[in-house]
Every structure is written in structure tokens, then in C-alpha cells.
Structure 1
Amino acid sequence: MAHLSDLRTLLRLPGFRRLFATRLTSQCADGAFQVALASYVIFSPERLPSPAAIAGAFAVLLLPYSVVGPFAGVLLDRFSRRGVLVVCNLLRAAAMPAVIALVVADAPTWAFYTAALLVLAVNRFVLAGLSASLPRVVEPAILVTANAVSPTAGTIAATAGGGLALAVGLLLPTGAVTTGAVLITTALLYGCSALAAAGFRPGALGPGTEERLARAPVGRELAGTARGMLDGVRHLRERPRAGHALLAVVAMRFGYGLLTVTLLMLSRYTFNDPADPEAGMALLGVVVAASGAGFLLAALVTPYFAHRLGEGGWTVCCAAAGAVLVPALALPFRQDLAVAAALVLGMVTQGVKISTDTVVQRGVDDDYRGRVFSVYDVLFNASFVAAAAVAAAVLPPDGRSAVPVLVTAVLYAVTALAQALAARHPGSGPRLTIT
């Protein structure tokens, strides 16, 4: 009941409502855009992708724009976060016609990947800006509830956007027309997100010092990017609790990546006829919906358990539950159990992420928050790409292999043990190192 009261308090805050609307529209557009990419690259009748091809796609779409993370942090700590949210969403809306032209012209894969990369690279600035702005519109006492509601609702909005894209695919059976319609809808949603962010007064989302808002010459900015990244890592090293939480969410993300590639291959080749990509796409939609339900469940229960067990204790519970339940559901390689495994995986990974977001936001200084969340984003996405590469090395063409499932279970068990030890000895344990 206390958390329901916190939620009512959040929704009465005009700043939170506006930031919430910015997130929901932006991430809904992200979901639609990503499903359009999956449909075009993985589930089109003309393509029969291998695990290595899927891993390569993830590398093209995730790893390069993870490198943008340090730049996002420096910009967020120097420039208006409100301006970043407005301009980045407008840029993504403006890029959609170019992507549509490439689809209609059946352009080479590298050209399509390049356009998609530009759209998704900008997303780093938006997501980091949303996370760094949240403490500016929410009181510290209800920050954990805000972290449960806002990012999780954004993930659910992305799932809804993916569902919207799938629904459009059912209504418009021709490939190029379907993709074009989805991308037009995506552009409109990005425009709505920019409009919502524009409603904040200048400076409302921080940073809080005029010195950090000052624009330096381009060369100095580039040099400052590297120094800012190192400053963010050093800041994390001085706060081991935040560092331990960050390592936990990175480990959970690695397991999520392993099983994502596995489920993609199973949906395309094992659970359906490979000659019927529409059936594989429909099953993927069910899996994504199940994972989204897991995100929602995590949002509902994480505030309760985090307050009673602590964020670290709840992380231990989520990782341990994943270690036990994911292999039990995934190893039979049955379609219904795979959907249940997606629900469990969504819940435990999102539960850990909510806890980590709260620990990092509370544990770092406001002037460093943008850079720390950029470090967070780089590690979060790089771990997914690394997992996709591992999956490509161990998966057979049909995706039916116990290896990624068992590796994920062991990784989650080790994460639970490490976090339990870190909770007992908060000043010790694994630290982020500078190389």
C-alpha cells in the first residue's frame, strides 16, 4: 500500500509526468523500429540467417553506438539535458524517410545497417538523459518507486511498439509497404517525444552548474570526453556498492544476450518451418510479450522486496531464481516452456536493473551522474554483443543447444553468490578497473 501511495505521489508530479511521457513515446518508437529491423534482416523470406549473421547484426547495431556512451555522458554533464532529449528525438524522426528509401530500393545490407546505426546511436543520448534527469523531478524518498515505474514502463512501451509493428505486418502483407508504414509511425512517435520534452523549462533537468553548461572548443571537448570517461570510472571505484551493482547487471545482461540469440534461432528454425518466416515472427512476438510481462511483474514487486531485503538482497534473489528456473524451463526445448522462460528471464533481469539503477543514482554525485550512466550503458550493451558472439560460436544452425542455457544458469548462480558476499562485506569484492 505504501508503494501505491508513492505511485500516486509520482503521478501527481508534473515534471515526472512529462518525463514519463517523453520516455514512453520514445521507447515505443524504439520498439517499433527494432521490430522493423528484425523483420527486414532476420525474418524476411529472402534471408536465412545463421547465428553468426545474427551476432554480426547485434554487433553492428549495438557495439558501435555503445562507444557513443562516453560522449553522451560528457554532453549530458555540459549541456542542457532538456535540449538533448528534444534534438535527439527530432533527429531520429527526420532519419526515418531515409531508412524507408533504403528499404524500398532494396539497398545493400551495409547501407541499411549504417542508417539503422545512426538512428540507434542517438538513442544512447536519449536513454542516458532520461536516467540522469529522473532525480531532478522526483524526491529521493520515492526514487526507488520511480526507478521501478519509469524505466520498466519504458520497456513495456517498447514491447507495445513492437506489437504495433507486428500488427501492422498482419494488416499490410507486402514487405516494403509494411516496413514503410511502421517507420512512418515511428517518426510520428519520435516527434511526440520531442514535443513532450520541449515542455520543460530550460535548465529544469540539469546539470546544476553553469560551468558545466559552458561549451568548450571541439578539440577540447574531444579530449575532455576521454577524461570524463575515466573520471566516471574513478568515481565508481570510490563507491564499491554502486560498482558491485553495476557488475551484477552486466552479468545478467550477458545471460540475457545468450538466450536472446538462442530464442531467435529456435523461433526461426526449430519451433516453426524455416520456409514460413511469418510464423517465426509471430512466435517471436509472443516471446517478446512474455518478456514484457516479466518486466511488468518486476516493476510491481521490486519496490516491495527492495525495501525489505535491500537492493543487494533483491539482486541476489533475482539472480538465484534465474539460475534455477531458466534451465528448468528452457532445456526441454518446448515452445510453451520457452515462452515461460522468457517471462522469468524478463522478470529477473529487470528486477536487477531496477535495483542497480537505484543504487547507482543514489551512490554517485549529481555532477558525475551523466558520465557514470554512460559507463553503465557501454558495459550494458557491450556485454550483450559479447554474449551474441559467444552464442554464434556455440549454437548449431537450428539454435537447439544446451550450452548457452547452462552457461547462463552458472553465470546467474555466480552473480547471486558474489552479490551476497558483497552485501556482507560492502567495502570489498570486485571493482571496476582502469586499463
Structure 2
Amino acid sequence: MTAKAGPGVERESVRTYFALPGFRWLLYCRFAASWSDGMFRAGLAGAVLFNPERAADPLTIAGGFATLLLPYSLIGPFAGALLDRWDRRRVLVVANLLRALAILATVLALSAGVNGAGLFSLALLVEGVARFAGSGMSAALPHLVPPTCLVGANAAATTLGAMVAVFGGGCAIVLRALFGADDAGSALTTSFAFAGPVLAALIAARFARGSLGPSTVDEPADAVLAVARGLTDGARVAARTPSVLAGFAALFAHRAAYAVSLLLSVLLMRFSFTDLGLLQAGLPGLGQLALLAGAGILLAGFRTAWLIRRFGRTRVVLGALLLAALAQLGLGLPMTLPTTLAASFLITAAGQVLKLGVDSAIQRDVEDAARGRVFALYDTLFNLTMVAAVSAAAALTPPDGRSPPLLLAATACYLLGGLGYLIVLRRRPAGDL
């Protein structure tokens, strides 16, 4: 299903990418998985944060983040070695089927009233397998589109996938209103997420064996040794690729700041904000927050490739960091419902610009034999950054989420990220900026 296209595709519309059969079917696979992601996360959030049968405070929320992200962060680099050793088509099929089974187990736990570590461990399994499959799709993309199309194709896939995830979250909110906010209703709502990975596995099975890579394998015959090399190999490749390392500095600064904003937003929606006309608090308010964030992702996805061509990668990354800092300071700091929603739109758009830039740098500048490990390392550092930031913020924030000092610290993260980006980028040849 590998497709070919001319060098001018990147300047065409999303419709042009759909003319590439391989890209189109990989996108359908991403859609199915992303819809399930949105359904599962919104269903779980409703069950844990807005369930009258359960209680949530800042430390509980931070514990949920840590339980979901930290263990996978420790094994993520090793999974990268497998992405560069195993047929990625098979990875997508098997991982999605495993994720479907993990979702069913989580649904049973919700219906039985399981709480704390037991519930979060199952959710960890769902998220861990989902991220593994997501890294596989990202690593496979260069096999389906010409090199000159990577920025535009990656932007289209990531952006549309994120929008489908937002739609999935909206579906969960609607179903929760129909089925109820208690454990039984939460379980029934979350159960619908099962369909996504099953469909994704069926779509992935359409690809020919080997068509998604890896093209070559530099792993030793011993599988245990291959897995153990995942962390160091991914780090070594990223360290010697200035475009990737600089992007990491910028994006992880954003993730630290975003984690703080996300925690405070959840607490404000849960304990401080009240409905204001069409603007709502509680879980519907988080739905509106996600909708505006999705709009920001959509805008960034359609304009990032053009921005990079017009202004260059360096100016775009620095501009995104500055925009996020200004939005955090000017809109997040007042801590009102309207300004929080507006900040969500701008900050998420800026973050998506950063992510697309890092994704395309990995896909363009990292050899295929190591690409899976770098993407898995990327996911790992991404998770560790969020865990560290949200845990620190939870220890400092008041229960209602009103903490101006934390928002000021988040603003400083963006500025430090820009400085780190420039420092690392000095190692890169001027012609590649």
C-alpha cells in the first residue's frame, strides 16, 4: 500500500494526501484509535473526577497522572527498540487488540467500584499500549509519503487525529448524560471505547507485511539485549541530532507549563467556576475546554507547514513559545471561566505547532532504523515532564486551583524553553534553520 507522489505534494491541500492510499489507510487507523482515546479518557475523567460516588483533590489527580504516565515512561524507550525490530504492521494489529482487552478490564473495574491503584493500573495498561501503537504509526509514516511531504502529511494526520479524539471525548460526555454519573453509568460510557482499537486493528491488517518498516534492523539477535539498548540508543541518536534535541527543549518546556495549567483548569472547573450563560463548569466545562483546545489544534495543523515555509522553523518555534507565554500570563492569570477557555485555545495551538515541528524533525533527520526508538524516547520524556510538573503543582496549589504563582512559574517555563532551544540550535548548520 506504499504510495508515491511528486515533490510538490507538501504544498497541496489535505485532499491531495488522501490520494495516497497508504497514507489514507494509516489515517483511518489513527482515527479509530484517536476516537477511542477521547472516549476512554473522558469516560475515565468523569468516573474519577466528577463522580458523586468518588472524591478528588489535587494530590488524587496528580496521583492519577503519575500512575497513568510514569510506569510507561520507564519502559517506553525499550518499546522503541521493538518498533525498530518488529514489523510495525504487526505491532499495530497486536497492540490495538491488547488495548481493546485492557479497556474491557477497566470497564469491569469501574462497574465493580474499584478505585485507586487498581483502577489506575488498568488505565495505565490502556494508555501504555495506545502510546506504543501511536509511536508505531508515527515511525511508519515516512514509508507512505515522499520525504518532501512529511511536514504537511504529519500535520494533517496529527491534527485530524486530535480532532477525532476531541469528538470522542464529546461522545463520552453525551453518553454520560444519558447513562448517569455513577459507577454503572461511567462503566457503560467507557465501554464504547472498546470499538476503536478493534477497528484500528482491522484497518492495520490491510497493509502488506513490511510495508510500514523498519527497512533495516541494526538490533542484535538477542531480543532482551535489543530491548535493553532502547533507552541509550534513542538518547544517543537524539543527542547527535540538533534539530531533534532543540525541539525537545522547547516542547518539554511547553509540556511542563501545560501540565500546571491542566491541573489548575480541572480544579477550577471542579471547585471554583460556576455556569455563566452558555459557558459551563464541571465536566461539560472540561468538554468546552477540550473543544476550544481542539480548535487550536486544528488551526495549528493547517497553518504550521505554511508558517515554517514562510518564516523558518526557528522563528515559528520561538513565536509559538512566546504566544503561549503571553496567553498564560494575560488570559490564564485572571482565572475566570471565559479567559481560561480562551487561554486553552491559544496555548494548545502553540503547543501543537511545537509538536508538529518536533515530529517532522524526527521523521526527516533520524534514520529509519532508529526512528522508533527516538519516538518512544520522545513519548517517555513527554510523560516524565508532565508527571514531574503536575506532581509539583499538586503539592503547592490550593484545593480550588486558584494559584497565581504557579501560573507565573508556567509562564517562565516557556521563556526558559525558548532560551534552551536557541542554545542547542547553535550546533546546527545555518542552512537547516
- Give the TM-score taking structure 1 as reference length: 0.92
What pairs up with 1:311-326 in 2 under 5 angstroms? 311-326=313-328
Q: Which amino acid aligns with 2:16?
A: T
Given that residues 3 and 304 in structure 1 are in contact (C-alpha distance below 8 angstroms), is that contact kept between their aligned partners in structure 2?
no
Report the counterpart of residue 42 of structure 1 in structure 2.
49
Report the counterpart of residue 188 of structure 1 in structure 2.
195
Q: Which amino acid aligns with 2:136?
A: G
Q: Distance in 2 between matches of 1:161 and 1:350?
A: 19
Given that residues 394 and 403 in structure 1 are in contact (C-alpha distance below 8 angstroms), is that contact kept between their aligned partners in structure 2?
no
Report the counterpart of residue 263 of structure 2 in structure 1.
261
Deviates more, 1:417-426 or 1:129-138: 417-426
Given that residues 87 and 209 in structure 2 are in contact (C-alpha distance below 8 angstroms), is that contact kept between their aligned partners in structure 1?
yes
Give 1:19's match in structure 2, choosing from 23, 26, 48.
Answer: 26
Give 1:88's match in structure 2, choosing from 73, 84, 95.
Answer: 95
Deviation digits for residues 316-342 of structure 1 (CA, Å, limit 9, x no counterpart) = 110011111221001111101100000
After superposition, the Cα gap between the structure-2 partners of 1:174 and 1:323, relative to the gap in structure 1 and judged at 3 Å, is closer
Give 1:77's match in structure 2, choosing from 73, 77, 84.
Answer: 84
Give 1:392's match in structure 2, choosing from 391, 394, 398.
Answer: 394
Given that residues 245 and 356 in structure 1 are in contact (C-alpha distance below 8 angstroms), is that contact kept between their aligned partners in structure 2?
yes
Alignment of 1:63 with 2:70, yes or no, is yes
Report the counterpart of residue 375 of structure 1 in structure 2.
377
CA shift, 1:183, in A, is 2.7
Deviation digits for residues 281-301 of structure 1 (CA, Å, limit 9, x no counterpart) = 111111111111111111121
Q: Distance in 1 between matches of 2:153 and 2:342?
A: 27
After superposition, the Cα gap between the structure-2 partners of 1:315 and 1:103, relative to the gap in structure 1 and judged at 3 Å, is same
Q: Which amino acid aligns with 2:126?
A: V
Deviation digits for residues 194-238 of structure 1 (CA, Å, limit 9, x no counterpart) = 1111110110000113675x9x4xxx4233323232122111222
After superposition, the Cα gap between the structure-2 partners of 1:308 and 1:174, relative to the gap in structure 1 and judged at 3 Å, is closer
After superposition, the Cα gap between the structure-2 partners of 1:170 and 1:279, relative to the gap in structure 1 and judged at 3 Å, is farther
Q: Which amino acid aligns with 2:358?
A: T
Q: Which amino acid aligns with 1:366?
A: D
CA shift, 1:94, in A, is 2.0
Given that residues 257 and 387 in structure 1 are in contact (C-alpha distance below 8 angstroms), is that contact kept between their aligned partners in structure 2?
yes
Q: Distance in 1 between matches of 2:66 and 2:267?
A: 17
CA shift, 1:107, in A, is 2.1
Report the counterpart of residue 5 of structure 2 in structure 1.
none
Q: Which amino acid aligns with 2:362?
A: V
Report the counterpart of residue 431 of structure 1 in structure 2.
none
CA shift, 1:371, in A, is 0.7
What pairs up with 1:112-123 in 2 under 5 angstroms? 112-123=119-130
Q: Which amino acid aligns with 1:44?
A: N
Q: Which amino acid aligns with 1:400?
A: R
Point out where structure 1 has 5 or more consecutive residues left out of the alignment: 429-435
CA shift, 1:387, in A, is 1.0
Give 1:51's match in structure 2, choosing from 58, 76, 83.
Answer: 58
Q: Distance in 1 between matches of 2:183 and 2:57?
A: 23
Q: Which amino acid aligns with 2:267?
A: M
Deviates more, 1:238-247 or 1:395-404: 238-247
Q: Distance in 2 between matches of 1:266 and 1:57?
A: 17
Q: Distance in 2 between matches of 1:126 and 1:346?
A: 23
After superposition, the Cα gap between the structure-2 partners of 1:202 and 1:64, relative to the gap in structure 1 and judged at 3 Å, is same
Deviation digits for residues 343-362 of structure 1 (CA, Å, limit 9, x no counterpart) = 01110011100011111211
Alignment of 1:341 with 2:343, yes or no, is yes
Q: Distance in 1 between matches of 2:417 and 2:103?
A: 40
Report the counterpart of residue 154 of structure 1 in structure 2.
161
Q: Which amino acid aligns with 1:159?
A: V
Given that residues 313 and 423 in structure 1 are in contact (C-alpha distance below 8 angstroms), is that contact kept between their aligned partners in structure 2?
no
Give 1:309's match in structure 2, choosing from 311, 326, 329.
Answer: 311
Given that residues 52 and 181 in structure 2 are in contact (C-alpha distance below 8 angstroms), is that contact kept between their aligned partners in structure 1?
no
Deviates more, 1:28-37 or 1:102-111: 102-111
Deviation digits for residues 57-77 of structure 1 (CA, Å, limit 9, x no counterpart) = 100011111223112211111
Secondary structure of the corresponding residue to residue 428 of structure 2: coil
Given that residues 333 and 400 in structure 1 are in contact (C-alpha distance below 8 angstroms), is that contact kept between their aligned partners in structure 2?
yes
CA shift, 1:3, in A, is 5.6
Deviates more, 1:185-194 or 1:306-315: 306-315
Q: Distance in 1 between matches of 2:257 and 2:281?
A: 26
Q: Which amino acid aligns with 2:371?
A: R
What pairs up with 1:210-249 in 2 under 5 angstroms? 216=221, 220-249=222-251
Alignment of 1:298 with 2:300, yes or no, is yes
Q: Distance in 2 between matches of 1:122 and 1:161?
A: 18
Secondary structure of the corresponding residue to residue 169 of structure 1: helix
Given that residues 249 and 420 in structure 2 are in contact (C-alpha distance below 8 angstroms), is that contact kept between their aligned partners in structure 1?
no
After superposition, the Cα gap between the structure-2 partners of 1:427 and 1:55, relative to the gap in structure 1 and judged at 3 Å, is farther
Report the counterpart of residue 420 of structure 2 in structure 1.
418
Root-mean-square deviation (Å): 2.0
Q: Distance in 1 between matches of 2:312 and 2:361?
A: 10
Secondary structure of the corresponding residue to residue 89 of structure 2: helix
Given that residues 270 and 398 in structure 1 are in contact (C-alpha distance below 8 angstroms), is that contact kept between their aligned partners in structure 2?
yes
Report the counterpart of residue 143 of structure 2 in structure 1.
136
Given that residues 322 and 414 in structure 2 are in contact (C-alpha distance below 8 angstroms), is that contact kept between their aligned partners in structure 1?
yes
Point out where structure 2 has 5 or more consecutive residues left out of the alignment: 1-7
